[in-house]
Amino acid sequence: MARREFDVPKKGIGKPDFYQKAAPSRPVLGTDQRQWFGLWTGSVGALGQAEIPLYAGVKGWQLYFAGGWVFCDADVVQSAQIDIERPPLPFLPIIVFGYKIQAESFWHDPAVVLIGENQKMRLLLNNIDIEAEHNYYVSFMGMEEKI
């Protein structure tokens, strides 16, 4: 087998270090769609609970809830619950989960959880630690669509 030699052009010497073409990944939304984000930071006392309003229906829009993250600053067992209020019914849980340090709650198909224009969504965050107050970071996302 004959030896093959390759000519490798030098990069970074007198030339910019980047590709000539880029294909950024970005969401593709329709004209009647927009991204939705919810962010909350705060602390919850020992054996306490925080009620965090995540979404209040916007007239003419509906939310396809995709999920999110909940972080705690300590390695202790915590729990969270996402509720939806669909009048005339009260808030009803759609997911309840326990976690340590971090929790993820995502649906692969965001159309699974739909919040209409007259509905609300909230997060109940429970600090189960009997001794200390902890800091929390909550981030949720979805897509709003004009109806």
**Per-domain residue ranges for the chain?**
33-146
Position 33 scores a pLDDT of 93
Which CATH number does 33-146 carry?
2.60.120.380
Chain segment 96-129, per-residue pLDDT in tens? 888 888 877 766 665 578 899 999 999 999 999 9
Chain segment 33-91, per-residue pLDDT in tens? 999 999 999 999 999 999 999 999 999 999 999 888 899 998 888 999 999 999 899 99
Rounded distance, CA 45 to CA 133, Å?
A: 4
Rounded distance, CA 94 to CA 115, Å?
A: 11
Quote the distance between the C-alpha of residue 83 and its chain's center.
15
pLDDT at 9 over 60: yes
Position 120 scores a pLDDT of 95
